[in-house]
Structure 1
Amino acid sequence: MARTLIPALAAAMMLCASLLVSGPARAAPDPALVRLTTQLDQLSDLLKSDAAARSLPLELLLLRTGLTGLTDALPRAGRDAAGTVDAPPPPQGPPAQASVETFRTALAVLSQVHGGQDNLDVLLAHPGDRTDALTFRSGVVTLDHIRQSLRDTGLQADMAPGHDTLRVPVILWEDTLLQLGPHDRLGLSRADGVFVISFGRVELDGARVFSVGGESPTSKDFVPFVTIAGGGSLNARGASFDGLGFGNTPKFSGVSIVSHPLMPSTGNTRIADSHFENLVTVAMTGGEAAVITGNRFYNMRNNALMLANAVGAQVHGNLFFGDGPTNAVRVLAGSDDAVVRGNVLLEGDRSGILVQGQSTRVEVSGNVIWRRSGGAIKLSGTRCGVVRGNVILNSRQKGIDIRSSDATQVHANTISGSGSAGIWVSAQPRQAVTYLSQNTLRGNGAGLSTATGARLFLAGNDFSNQFPRLIDGDLTLQNHAIVRDLHGKTPMLMSASETVVPSSLAAPDCSDWGQK
């Protein structure tokens, strides 16, 4: 112990002596980061002041603020240079058969996977045991077909082009295809307890779906929602969703895809270049290889996007902005091999991207996260996660937060201006190794901090502008190792008790972890 403490104390004394002469060192400004911060300020101001700008594709927004090339994950998503959605193909196939049935059956199927929570609010929105819904089977459903079917069944006579407010729930079973196009506007009456549940395929090209009117007099918590359930799938392109969702479960959260493991899938879900505003959450539970790309999430009422058991999901090139009371992206409950890449997160509370709950090999890369009131990226209870190439600026709390996660790689991130640690590692399993390489740390509350951080492998990390506090927490006595090598030229294996130079230490082989 004495042999470890003597060089540590000597290095600390030398550092203190230099500070007495020159005063506390501070991180020198980086012109590129200063310019990027200014441009992100301009982007935020544009989005707050110009409502029309909020519906522009992210690549056009970045072009207007000089941020072209900020991420490498921006899709074209079917728009031309003016932001116009390509026309969808005409409906193909016979029209579906319409009837009047109770919606209780659909709620029961949802409850098999997601429980009965909040079902009562749906039922209370239809007093007098009125549970009639317009139900479709075996064929294609369009907005014109919905209007005509409402008249034919006597459920609603006043729905006409230009006055598209739906006043009864709609249920679409697994052998249906709902198609809405660029000129379709579908309002869902809150006062009438309206919602749409589809167990089949849903294709929305440039359509708008939104909540209409005040609260239900018999169920004040109820808000309209769109749920794709069972084996259903959603293909949305250039669509818009506003004011949807309520409750504490994914099934009624606004726009949700909630899979049933025993129902055959109708296809993979893809949500592209769409706008979500004032929803509770866009939720994806179950399913494989979903793609969520080029979308805008504005003023969401809970976490903006939630993935659970979503194996191989791809979240690319999305913009999260406006008021955000909690995480923008949550990757939960066994979403193995998910990728969260090239997204832009502006402000909001708590960690911007949260990966939690035994998800394996999740990649969080190339994202730009600016001015979060909480932290930026957090991995908790994961295995073999990769956090790579992210730019994290001015988070009020931590930059990258690793907890109870084995074999995590944190590589080539730029972290500047975090109020707490740039990289925080805590509550690690005893034998865990966290791999930190080629990260740039500038002006954070501390560069690296741990609390029961187990072992950390450090190589090529740049602490040269991380002043005055390089490392903190239970690593403090290892400060001398960083002081001597601010650019990390010599790889080192560090723990709270010692720092050693390993002869070799390969990155973990995670290829067979979590295989189904």
Structure 2
Amino acid sequence: MMTRDIIHLSSSNCRWPPKTGSALLSLRVAALSICLVFPIGHWPVASSVAFAQQAPATPSSALGKADAAMSDITANVLKADGATDARQRLAFLDAARAGMTQLKSWVAADSAEAKAALSKLASAGIDADSLVSASISALQEQMKGRIADPEQRTGMRVRIMELIEALSLPELQVAALGGYAALLAKGDKLNAISLMEKAAERVDLIKDETAKNAALNTLAQTATIIEPKLSSALADKAISRMWPTRMRGYARYDLALRILAGKQIDGKPVSVAATDAIVAQSAGALKKDDLEQALLWALAINPEDSEARKKAVDNAADLALSEGKLEWMPVLATSLADNSDQEDLIEKLVKQRIEVGRGLDAAKLADYLPESALRAELDFTLATVFAKNDLKKMADASYASGNAVLADLSGPERGVAVVAAAESAINLERLDDALALVQELRAAKDGGNTIANLAKSLADADRLKDAETLLPFLQGGNDRDKAVAGIARVKAREGDIAAAKSALETIANSRDRGRVQSELARTLAKKGETDDAKSVALSIQDTEFRIEALLRLASVANDNKGNGDFDALVGEAVKVAAGEDKKDSRDKGYLKIVEALTDARKTDAAKQLVDRIADEKIKARAASMIGKRAALDGFGSEALTYLASFAGAADDETLKADVLVAAAANPAMLKFASVQSSTLKDHMLRVRTARAIAEASFRSLDVRNLGWGKGSPADYMAMQQQAPKLEAAAEAIPAAAFSDGRLTLARQKGRMSLPETYTYSDISVGAGTVRGNVPLPQPGHAAVTLANLSPYSDKFMEDLAAGNTGLSFAAEAQGIPYPRIIVIQSGVYTLGSLASELNAGDGFPLVTRENDVVTLRAPVLVAEGATLILSGQEAATYRLSATAGSFISVAGTLYVQDTTVTSWDEATGTPRYSDKEKRHVFRPYIIGWSNSRLMIGGSVLDSLGYAAPKSFGLAFSAGPKSVAQQITGARAPTGIVVDNFFHNFEYGFYSYEADDVSLVGNEYRDNVLYAIDPHDRSHRLLIALNTTYDTKAKHGIIVSREVNFSWIVGNVSHTNAGSGFMIDRNSVDNFVYANVAFDNKQDGLTLFESSCNLAVGNRFFDNKRAGIKIRNSWDVGVHENILENNAQDAIHGYISNLRASPANALRDFEFDPYLPLTTFAASGNRIHGNGGGIKVDGTSGFSLSGNDYLNQVGRLIDGDGRAMEGHMLRFNERESVLITSTVCRPKRPEAYSCRFRDAGFFNGDGQSAIFAENALTDTCTNVSNSVQYENFNGTGGRS
């Protein structure tokens, strides 16, 4: 008789097929999968085979030990089959499995009897795997009942997992894990998801492709139990791994039918309903804009009716694209069973994503394609798109992928792909790759145009010989004209007039002829052959190039001071433009002429020509050219007024930006340009404009001709690590020229000496550097775990002043004590991809994607070796939910590129804004830990960070301690942050023991405490060409507490609540060069307790305190700065008793020690219109040389040095003067090194003579009657 199925009691039509060989392996797996996952019997099994047949028992005494064991196993299986209680059944199965284990041990001992017994059992359908599977089923049956004892339930779960691990085949393990997940789905969704993830990992171990597809289909169908919806991350991942296309399409069909189970159309189940009726359901949902239902019904159409299914899915795809419903892309890319139909759909999706600038979406969709000509074409197209957006690494990866596909293609498919490959190679400037394809291009459709493009590109790259070798392959027509013209232009530019003229005889196309003739005319003019040049120009048929040629000749004439010739040639150009019939071409001609006139400073003539332009936008562009000239001449306000009078300028801020950049080239207009640029509304345009203004300012202040620098910060490590030189004996003070009893003045020779080889890291680095390094996503492992399981969360579990922790907000939002966090363990992921990669869990989605916005609603950890990307090639905006307590913690690599990252308050639907009163309110943040690399470029970062440790907004920090202690040779966090807008951060930038970070070209506005604040032993930082303004509480740029060996170059810092720049708390060997600070409420530059620093070539003006303030700092160089119109002194050097100062009441003097000792050297400074000149209070000495004093309001020399004023001025222009304390010279502090001094930067400035080698005191503050004593012990110190 047939026994009941022991796989699942309730599955009356499930039968376990016997193990009859590998041919039935996939059938056995499918049967087990279906029985485990779908016990209700909706999914029929292919056959119903008896598991075991009842036989009369043979007395064990008559059998050998192996036969006895076999008999016992069979008997226990039959008892289990007959048991009505799951617990009893499990006991019998346990006994059977014990017997099986005994038999196997005898087989291992080479028992023939045991081998025969196993064979007999197998022929009856009994083997170890079937017994384990039956045991799993029995345990699951028990777990369906209510088990009050949690320990018992836990024990059962542990035992199930042990049994699953005991299965010998990954196919069976996948099926068992899926069945167990289905059982847990309702009551324990998170564990069910975890089981599904384990099952997905086991799929990789399955070798047979049919079995692998069966297992994946099982997981996809099981996913509908856990997440009963069409867009399920579990199902999407499983189906995407199935192959070929047909399998995916049918899996989607199965999944749709399961979701629609129970629904009927015209009284029939959906599975047997008429196609037209299902199509009507889909169309009706589309009319209601119900995309999910429309697509669900479309997928319920039988794949055999491919045309109807294709049309319905296409209609749904159109709605998804028009509404930006990108979460449906994985479903659409695996929706059709016909390969050609699916390729067409994917191609449409890819091209739409490329058109809207979302190349990462396109690349992900292309991965669904087989290796075909279409896949190669799309890869090459993506390579070109990425290259045009400076995404070099992405371009290289796509190009390599395309070539890998191309290598396996042949016939017509290869011909199509070869053209795409060559065009991509040209766009990526891989011209040798393109050359290698020329022979195939000759036979390919459209190959001639590609060869012409290649010839032109080779010529432009000065590879004329290579370009000319291609001409025989171009027999005539436009392709040949294009190639010949490209070569001829280069030859004309290089002065080969004969070759250019000869080429013209073969070019028929008027535009290509015009290009060559224009270049030829300019070359002739430069050679002085003016008549021939003019003759060539006037012979050009194409209007655009005739105007171009005439204006080129006019430019040469203007350079040669030929005003008459200039006017005549421009007049000819005006006639040509006026004679153009097409209005657009005529206006563009006038525009070029206006540009030529403004370059020649003929503004009145240019204005007259502007009035002839009809198109308002082109007219505004012309007005902008005139405005740029006026602004450069110092008439910035008038230039903007003139520009604003044109209607076309109202909606084009780039025109105003152009005027402001031009104005900045005039130092007198810098403040105007910088303040006005802050009114630009377009964030990235404003960032680019602010950087361009900073660059213009830098060029005017680069007094040492150091230029843009070179290399990366890490390249300068060797200079930092050189052993300090032994301190030489203190110099003798030159003979005194004057003394008032307190200070002594002496003449000396020498001034600042900056070695010619000195430079800094490359300040020209831009967002392109970040773009060029962003990789394409690569598969890895990303999952959800509890925060308390990650050591990187330890810091944020500490109690804060407000009584909560950094993770309290996520825990509250998720409703659990330890919130779930996302961990990217390996691979390269985009944040948006996690929306489809991660599973919804308890219904609280951790990442969502809607239209062009990705929202993060949980903390994310990027583990070491893993990479996370936030890119404009995926989304316009990334919202970090403040409501859900999200933040990004990085131990690996983070890229933020050409996008917007903002905090998001889900209640108000706005970023969470902060100020001095709201500083302790949680806001999301980004932190990079040890070994991390943060690469952020071309982006807007808004309203991040709050007043909690490491949570300031954007932080680079060593640690966390619990992790760092376990890492051998942990690297300091590093990265590049360039060309971004940082708005309303707690700190725009913060670091703790970070190295080699480049902060270049960023704009910082409305930040709460600081704009830029590197801290605590951060080294070799490049802070350059940034603009920081309107900081609410303190300074624009500050480096504090042993931030050493860094460069602060070319920045603009204004209207901050504190100083523009500050060097603080023993930060040494920093080079402050060519910066600007104005309208700050404190100083232009403040140096507090920080020795061995250089301030050179800066411009500090209109600040509310001093230009430069130096406190308790020695070996300070102040050279060639412009210090103008500051409310107090141009330079104020002094000592202060910080312990007696209320402003330092909270300072930890053990942690932040100081010495009340100040010395400085000031030379070549322009001191103009300040409240005072140079003031000293308690300084041990200072030297002055060649400073220029103009229109000073107060005294030129004040404080302790007032009596020296006349003598200093008498020697100022002719030689240096050194002023030292008469009563006490201090000893140079011990354990002090200064790399600048070691490198000779202070040679001859006299500061070393201020110190006495045998002095008994470090500071002289304890020596009565000394200036140091009087100031230190007088008023309690100045702050």
- Which bracket does the TM-score occupy, shorter chain normalised? 0.7 to 0.9
- DSSP-derived class of the 1:374 partner: coil
Residue 472 of structure 1 is matched in structure 2 by: 1198
Using the TM superposition, name which of 131-140 and 385-394 deviates more: 131-140
Q: Which residue of 1 aligns with 2:1177?
A: 451
Cα gap change, 1:400/1:214 in structure 2, threshold over 3 Å: closer, same or farther? farther
- Could you tell me how far apart the structure 2 residues matched to 1:115 and 1:412 are? 49
Instruction: Please give the alpha-carbon distance, in whole angstroms, between the structure 2 residues aligned to 1:94 and 1:106.
Output: 24
Asked whether the equivalents of residues 254 and 280 of structure 1 are also in contact (C-alpha less than 8 Å), the reply is yes
Instruction: Sort the Cα spacing of 1:490 and 1:37 in 2 relative to 1 into closer, same or farther, 3 A.
Output: same
Asked if 1:203 is matched to 2:887, the reply is no
Helix, strand or coil at the partner of 2:929: strand
Contact 1:110 1:230 in 2 (8 A): no
Distance in 2, matches of 1:379 and 1:280, equals 23
Are positions 1:347 and 2:347 aligned together?
no
Q: Which amino acid aligns with 1:46?
A: S
How far residue 366 of structure 1 moved from its aligned partner, in angstroms, is 0.8
Q: Does 1:254 align with 2:953?
A: yes
- CA pair 177-431 structure 1, distance change in 2 beyond 3 A: closer
1:69 to 691, 694, 699: 699
Q: Distance in 2 between matches of 1:68 and 1:329?
A: 17
* One-letter amino acid of the counterpart of residue 233, structure 1: R
Report the Cα offset of residue 312 of structure 1.
Answer: 1.2
Amino acid at match of 2:1001: G
Q: Is 1:231 equivalent to 2:919 in the alignment?
A: no
Aligned residue type for 1:69: R
More off after superposition, 129-138 vs 488-497 = 488-497
Residue aligning to 1:306: 1013
Of 977, 982, 993, the match for 1:271: 977
Residue matched to 1:481: 1207
Q: Aligned in 2, Cα 1:61/1:384: closer, same or farther, shift over 3 Å?
A: closer
Secondary structure class of the residue paired with 2:869: strand
Matches within 5 A, 1:92-103: 93-102=778-787
Match among 284, 287, 292 for residue 999 of structure 2: 292
Moved more, 391-400 or 150-159: 150-159
Structure 1 residues 488, 244: closer, same or farther in 2, change over 3 A? same
Contact 2:1058 2:1081 in 1 (8 A): yes
Q: Name the SS of the counterpart of 1:315 in structure 2.
A: strand
The superposition leaves residues 470-491 of structure 1 with CA deviations (integer Å, 9 ceiling, x where unpaired) of 1112221212223434x43221
Could you give the per-residue CA deviations for residues 420-442 of structure 1, whole angstroms, max 9, x where no partner exists?
11101011767753111111111
Q: Distance in 2 between matches of 1:157 and 1:464?
A: 63
Residue type of the alignment partner of 1:213: D
- Provide the residue aligned with 1:144 in structure 2: 832
- Match of 1:463, as an amino acid? Y
Q: Which segments of 5 or more consecutive residues in structure 2 lack a partner in the other structure? A: 1-634, 636-662, 702-706, 709-762, 913-918, 1137-1154, 1224-1243, 1250-1279
**Structure 2 CA distance for aligned equivalents of residues 116 and 403 of structure 1:** 34
Query: 1:3-42 alignment to 2 at 5 Å?
Result: 36-42=667-673
- Displacement after TM superposition at 1:150 (Å): 3.4
- Give the letter for the 2:1094 counterpart: V
Q: Which residue of 1 aligns with 2:821?
A: 133
Matched, 1:441 2:1174: no
Select the structure with the greater relative contact order (CA < 8 A; seq sep ≥ 6). Answer: 1
Pairwise mapping of residues 416-427 of structure 1 onto structure 2 (< 5 A)? Answer: 416-427=1124-1135
By how many angstroms is 1:275 displaced? Answer: 1.5
**How far 1:177 sits from its partner (Å)?**
1.0
One-letter code aligned to 1:288: D
Tell me the residue number matched to 1:159: 848
Q: What count of residue pairs does the alignment treat as equivalent?
A: 465
**Alignment CA distance shift 1:272-1:208 (3 Å):** same
Q: Does 2:819 correspond to 1:120?
A: no
Shift, 1:186, TM fit = 1.4
For the residue of structure 2 that corresponds to 1:354, the secondary structure is strand
Counterpart position of 2:867: 177
Shift of 1:295: 1.1
CA distance in 1, matches of 2:803, 2:893: 24
AA aligned opposite 2:867 = L
Is 1:327–2:1032 an aligned residue pair?
A: no
- Structure with greater proportional strand content: 1
Query: Corresponding residue for 1:413?
Result: 1121
Per-residue CA deviation, residues 269-298 of structure 1 (Å, 9 max, x unaligned), is 111112111111111211222111111111
- 1:8 paired residue number: none
Conserved? CA contact 1:110–1:229, under 8 Å? no
Provide the C-alpha distance between the structure 2 equivalents of 1:220 and 1:477, rounded to a whole number of angstroms. Answer: 51
Give the letter for the 2:784 counterpart. Answer: S
Q: Per-residue deviation at 1:228?
A: 1.2
8 A Cα contact 1:258 1:285, kept in partner: yes
Distance 1:67 1:257, change over 3 A: closer
**What does residue 678 of structure 2 align with?**
47
Change (3 A) 1:303 1:157: closer
3-state DSSP class of the match of 2:807?
helix
Matches within 5 A, 1:496-511: 506=1246
Give the Cα–Cα distance (whole angstroms) in 1 for the partners of residues 925 and 1110 of structure 2.
35
- How far does the alpha carbon of each residue in 1:288-334 deviate from its partner, in whole angstroms, 9 at most, with x for none? 22111111111111111111211111111111123443111111111
Cα pair distance change 1:494/1:180, threshold 3 Å: same
CA deviation profile, 1:437-476 (whole Å, cap 9, x unmatched): 1111111111101111210111111224434421112221
Equivalent positions of 1:337-376 (< 5 A) are 337-376=1045-1084
TM-fit CA distance, 1:87: 6.7
**Residue matched to 2:1217:** 492
Letter matched to residue 122 of structure 1: G
Question: What is the distance in 2 between the residues matched to 1:59 and 1:175?
Answer: 33
- In structure 2, relative to structure 1, the CA distance for the partners of 1:106 and 1:239 (3 Å cut) is farther
- Closer, same or farther in 2 for the Cα pair 1:68/1:426, shift >3 Å? closer
Between 150-159 and 445-454, the greater mean CA deviation after superposition: 150-159
Return closer, same or farther for 1:451/1:350 CA change in 2, 3 Å cut-off.
same
Instruction: Please give the TM-score of this superposition, normalised by the length of structure 1.
Output: 0.81
Residues 182/399 of structure 1: CA separation in 2 closer, same or farther (3 Å cut)? same
Identity %: 19
| Distance 1:68-1:158 versus aligned 2 partners, 3 A rule | closer
Task: Quote the RMSD (CA, aligned, Å).
Answer: 3.4
In 1, the alpha carbon distance for the partners of 2:860 and 2:1094 equals: 42
Task: Read off the aligned partner of 1:452 and give its amino acid letter.
Answer: G
Question: Displacement of 1:144 after TM fit?
Answer: 3.5
Higher helix share: 2
Deviations along 1:56-106, one digit per CA (max 9) or x if unpaired, are 25344569xx868356555251459xxxx9576542543233232215745
AA of the residue aligned to 2:676: D
Instruction: Find the aligned partners of 2:796 and 2:818 in 1 and give their Cα distance.
Output: 20
**In structure 2, how many angstroms separate the alpha carbons of the residues matched to 1:51 and 1:508?**
52
Distance in 1 separating the partners of 2:1248 and 2:780: 54
| Code of the aligned partner of 1:99 | V
Whose radius of gyration is greater, 1 or 2?
Answer: 2
2:1093 maps to which of 370, 376, 385:
385
Query: Contact 1:459/1:491 (CA < 8 Å) preserved in 2?
Result: yes
Deviation at 1:124, TM superposition (A): 3.2
CA contact (8 A) 1:87 1:205 kept: no
How far apart, CA to CA, are the structure 2 residues paired with 1:34 and 1:150? 52
Measure the CA separation in 2 of the matches of 1:102 and 1:337: 37
Per-residue Cα deviation, 1:95-133 (whole angstroms, up to 9, x for no partner): 233232215745654379x99667824233232524211
Q: CA deviation at 1:47?
A: 1.1
What's the TM-score once normalised by structure 2's chain length?
Answer: 0.34
